[in-house]
């Protein structure tokens, strides 16, 4: 089942080539599909992509749309932050602003009145795993995999830790964070990171079915319910993000993380003793 496009929603604005927006997706009025479209870079969250996705979602949040599907083009759902960009600007000030903007994007997803469904067709690592965890719901292909892999490059995934630890049991979250190991879709469902697992060729059908089930409910109740759900459940998340922003910005400026990112750029193993 393929989404179809229509005109922009009320209060909306057109997206760039890196963020595609389709209205009346899956033939369902009120369903918007937002697609990360940077497949050659595994949909890495560069500064530009963060800003464009933020603007797109903020516009949809002001509209009367009912459900948002957050999808991605290519083999990867999202490979996290763009390490080439991070390495190119080794400045604590740049890192602080970048991670704060990314956290603001994540909070936009939670604060949107519309339920947001992650449609996960491939790997979701680091901030990409964070993106899945921040979505209200997630449907993944049975071939999808998830990891908070920053530790491999000297970066503890401080900001992904915030929603991850609020989605999966504490010890499972910490194991993912300190090992960087992948978990498959079946394990992600078992832990509660995703709601449903399905064959790749049935992914759109299952996402559409879930979206329709939400659209069948009274929109005012859904919007009120989402707001209440997070207000009572996540009362401390902003303070957690502020601490995580500072931690990951300081971490990213550390020589160990700089070496890890440089090794990634040069496609070699990091030299932790450099």
pLDDT tens across the length of the chain (274 residues): 443 344 444 344 444 689 999 999 999 999 999 999 999 999 999 999 999 999 999 999 999 999 999 999 999 999 999 999 999 988 999 999 999 999 999 999 999 999 999 999 999 999 999 999 999 999 999 999 999 999 999 999 999 999 999 999 999 999 999 999 999 999 999 999 999 999 999 999 999 999 999 999 988 888 988 887 887 776 577 877 887 888 788 888 888 888 888 999 999 998 877 6
- Residue 218: predicted pLDDT: 84
Tell me if 6 is assigned to some domain.
no
Is residue 10, in this structure, part of any structural domain at all?
no
- Asked, for residue 116, whether it belongs to a domain, the answer is yes
Query: 154, 272 in Cβ contact below 8 A?
Result: yes
Please give the tally of structural domains in the chain. Answer: 1
Q: How does pLDDT run across 140-165, given as a tens digit for each residue?
A: 999 999 999 999 999 999 999 999 99
CATH number, position 229: 3.90.226.10
User: Which residue from 200, 201, 199, 222 is spatially nearest to 211, judged by alpha carbons?
Assistant: 222
CB atoms within 10 A of CB 108: 19
Residue at 169 is within a domain: yes
Q: Which domain holds residue 30?
A: 19-266
Q: Does some domain include residue 95?
A: yes
pLDDT given at position 14? 43
Handedness of CA 242, 151, 38, 132 (dihedral sign): negative
Can you give the pTM of this predicted structure?
Answer: 0.88
- Return the percentage of the chain with pLDDT > 70, whole number: 93
pLDDT above 90 covers what percent of the chain? 73
pLDDT at position 36, please? Answer: 98
Domain assignment present for residue 11? The answer is: no
In a domain, 239, yes or no: yes
Task: Identify whether 86 is part of a domain.
Answer: yes
Q: What is the pLDDT of residues 84-141, one digit of tens each?
A: 999 998 899 999 999 999 999 999 999 999 999 999 999 999 999 999 999 999 999 9
């Amino acid at each position: 089942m393929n989404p179809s496009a229509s005109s922009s929603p009320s209060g909306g604005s057109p997206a760039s080539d890196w963020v595609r927006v389709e209205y009346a997706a899956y033939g369902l009025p009120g369903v918007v599909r937002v697609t990360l479209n940077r497949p050659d870079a595994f949909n890495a969250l560069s500064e530009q992509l963060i800003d464009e996705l933020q603007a797109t979602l903020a516009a949809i949040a002001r509209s009367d749309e009912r459900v948002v599907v957050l999808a991605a083009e290519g083999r990867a759902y999202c490979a996290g932050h763009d390490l080439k960009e991070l390495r190119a600007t080794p400045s604590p000030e740049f890192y602080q602003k970048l991670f704060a903007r990314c956290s603001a994007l994540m909070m936009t997803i939670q604060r949107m009145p519309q339920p947001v469904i992650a449609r996960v067709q491939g790997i979701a690592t680091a901030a990409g795993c964070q993106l899945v965890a921040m979505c209200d719901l997630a449907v993944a292909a049975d071939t999808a995999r998830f990891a908070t892999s920053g530790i491999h490059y000297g970066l503890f995934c401080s900001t992904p830790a915030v929603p991850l630890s609020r989605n999966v049991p504490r010890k499972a979250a910490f194991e993912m964070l300190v090992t960087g190991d992948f978990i498959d879709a079946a394990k992600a469902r078992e832990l509660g990171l995703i709601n449903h697992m399905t064959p790749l060729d049935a992914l759109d059908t299952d996402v559409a079915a879930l979206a329709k089930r939400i659209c069948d409910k009274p929109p005012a109740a859904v919007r009120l319910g989402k707001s209440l759900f997070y207000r009572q459940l996540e009362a401390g998340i902003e303070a957690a993000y502020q601490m995580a922003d500072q931690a990951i910005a300081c971490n990213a400026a550390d020589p160990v993380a700089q070496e890890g990112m440089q090794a990634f750029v040069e496609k070699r193993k990091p030299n932790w003793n450099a």
